[in-house]
Amino acid sequence: MSVKKFLATLLTAVLALSLLTSAGAADSSVYRTLYSGEITTLNYLITSSANEYALAANVIDTLVEYDRFGQVRPSLAESWEVSDDGLTWTFHLRHDATWVNADQSMYAPLTAHDFEFAARYILNAQNAASTANILYEVIQGAEAYYKGTATPAEGEEAAPVMEWSTVGVKALDDWTIRYQLITPVPYFLSMTTYVCFMPACEKFVQEKGEAFGVATDNTNLVYCGAYVLSEFKPNEKRVLSRNTNYWDKDRVYIEKVESTYNKEAANIGPELYLRGEVDAVSLSTAVASEWLQAADKADLIHPVRQTSFYSYWYSFNFDPQFDAAYEPENWKKAVNNENFRKSIYYGLDRVKAMMITDPDNAENLIWNTITPPGFVDVNGTDYVLMEGLQYYSDLGAETFDAPRALAARDKAVTELTAEGVTFPVKILMPYNPGTSGWSEECETVEQQLEELLGRDYIDIIIEAGPSTGFLSAVRRCGNYALLKVNWGPDYADPQTFTEPFADGNNYNFLNQADDQKGYQAYLKLVQDAMDITQDIASRYDVFARAEAYLLDHALAIPFGTGTGGYSADRIDPFTVQYAPFGISMERYKGVRLLSKPMNTDEYYDALDAWEEARAAVSAK
């Protein structure tokens, strides 16, 4: 046998052994992952980044939580009641919850004052909390207080300074926190699972001052959740360790979550997984297809569980802040033309684009609305089948309409030429290189749209953004023309999916669009829906008409879910907390690790068992 052949045989044997090791002798108490984008803050009171609140979900508890079947269960609150008029919610806290340091030494008891302090921190405009609006849209007196803390713009008068006592958040004693609402909010309990309703330890925040939550190490935070951040070296490693002082520690089964940074995680992850060095990895379509065809790998992966109600869509930017080389002024004229937007809307073949995520099941991952199907319903009728939205839902995956796209293109050329627009219109489309498959999806979109509409009409320019701080560097500052964006629901009501389109948002900057009359008509529909608090069917109906306005005018291009394909992961997906909103599904609490990876047959058997058990629980 030649040396080369011997080495190849040896490598094969070693790989086979490593597969057996990772699949059959894995540590049931340690979960090892990779990540390619570092968090920018540990201050959960100010962030709305999924990457950051996924960490917060594991180290900070909320008033209530959800079990693996989606049933509400007590967490920091042992019990609660709501007044007959629906305006006052009172939560009674457990007495055994505590704050601990990163080394798990006791810091302070957790009390109702920590919830009041956190709300006061978030509602101080000087702290620039990105979730403040969620509080002040529902809490009595909160918006006036927030405005009174804001620095007025040049030429504007300062808003009156309000006393905190005017805000409807109050610790009645050490163990009772009360929220008074502006109007009845049917979904308020689900809101309390989001980051802006988390507690914060006032003593610690004052001790740390400006260092509170700074993402340099793990000492700038105290912890009250199932885990503590026991090790944190930015752009190197994060370790979550089971909180031994946690009030519910018997339901925390994973002892340690070790996450290692590597900017090439998407590329090297599969090989590290095969070598038994990590317990989970994101698989590209190509890798998943290869593994499914290999006898020694097919049993290591299973379909991705569709539990996320994150919605993805392609967003047009009405306030371009990108480099002059990409002709922002020319883009601004083009994007304000409805026929130009419709040429992209009808011209985008979403099935081709989604096949990058899942070539076997692309059509089933697509939806035609911003709000996902199955998110909420009224008397058994899905919200996306209500007035205005049913037309789009009935289209299925096929909104791609080449003749309609070309007709819109021809109208746009005539209209835009008269306005002095030059062709081809440059369309800057960035992507995050740390997200598996995104670059390939952009290439597919570029090729497909340019071939259909003509390279003399549009020139799509793909550009990699940073893997860390992508949102700040790209979306939030308007450094794009067309971008795939997402939104995860914060509570169980269609209102949550209107927030990316609110006045002053950084998803599309619609308040900078030329058609302000139309935009104000949309905002009025949203406000009208928000004002309906008792008749849920009427409330949802008006929200549906507002959402249909966005689609009728091609102000967004719905895409679908961001997950699909196959997963290589030792987590039992049916032990994860289940909720279509908030941060519950980010938690490791209650999650169990498998001794060997779940294969496809085992996955579908487990899914059937979970659905049967959930139906039984719901029927009780």
In a domain, 350, yes or no: yes
pLDDT tens digits, 382-391: 899 998 899 9
Rounded Cα–Cα distance for residues 590 and 100 (Å): 21
Least confident of 230-239, 391-400, 598-607: 391-400
In a domain, 57, yes or no: yes
Residue 307 confidence class, pLDDT cut points 50, 70, 90: low
Torsion over CA: 263, 266, 272, 278 (sign) = positive
CATH number, domain of 582, equals: 3.40.190.10
Give the model's pLDDT for residue 7. 34
Domain tally, the chain = 3
Which position has the higher pLDDT, 21 or 125? 125
* 4 has a pLDDT exceeding 80: no
Select from 539, 560, 581 the last residue of a domain.
560
Secondary structure element (H or E) that encloses residue 517, with its range: helix 516-531
Same domain, 296 and 318: no
86 contacts 181 by C-beta, under 8 angstroms:
yes
The closest of 585, 473, 563, 583 to 134, measured between CA atoms, is 583
**CA count, 13 A, side-chain hemisphere, 574:** 16
In a domain, 24, yes or no: no
In a domain, 21, yes or no: no
* 573 has a pLDDT exceeding 80: yes
Kindly give, in sequence order, each residue whose CB lies less than 8 Å from that of residue 537, ignoring residues fewer than 6 positions away: 378, 379
In a domain, 6, yes or no: no
pLDDT tens digits, 415-454: 999 999 999 999 999 999 988 789 999 999 999 999 999 9
In a domain, 581, yes or no: yes
Same domain, 123 and 193: yes
Same domain, 455 and 593: no
φ, ψ at 142 (rounded to 5°): -70, -40
Residue 399 confidence class, pLDDT cut points 50, 70, 90: confident
Same domain, 171 and 250: no
Rounded Cα–Cα distance for residues 279 and 272 (Å): 9
Same domain, 126 and 267: no
Select from 212, 245, 278 the last residue of a domain.
212
Percentages of the chain per state (helix, strand, coil), in multiples of 5 = 40, 20, 40
Secondary structure element (H or E) that encloses residue 78, with its range: strand 77-82
CATH number, domain of 81, equals: 3.90.76.10
Give the model's pLDDT for residue 303. 87
- Tell whether omega for the bond before 424 is within 30 degrees of 0, i.e. cis: yes
Domain of 117 in residue numbering reads as 50-212
Token readout for 215 is 């993402």
Which position has the higher pLDDT, 435 or 248? 248
Give the model's pLDDT for residue 66. 93
Same domain, 152 and 282: no
473 contacts 430 by C-beta, under 8 angstroms:
no
Beta strand spans in 181-255 (E): 227-233, 237-242
The closest of 473, 471, 36 to 236, measured between CA atoms, is 36
CATH number, domain of 474, equals: 3.10.105.10
Q: Is the pTM of this model over 0.85?
A: no
Same domain, 303 and 315: no
Same domain, 352 and 430: yes
Same domain, 264 and 386: no
Same domain, 359 and 489: yes
C-alpha 540: how far from chain center: 22
DSSP state of 396: T
In a domain, 91, yes or no: yes
* 26 has a pLDDT exceeding 60: no
φ, ψ at 320 (rounded to 5°): -65, 130
Neighbours of 37 (CB within 10 A): 21
Rounded Cα–Cα distance for residues 505 and 499 (Å): 8
In a domain, 15, yes or no: no
Give the model's pLDDT for residue 398. 67
Select from 560, 575, 607 the last residue of a domain.
560
Give first-to-last CA distance, the chain, whole Å.
Answer: 68
Same domain, 254 and 202: no
Rounded Cα–Cα distance for residues 568 and 290 (Å): 13
Same domain, 357 and 478: yes
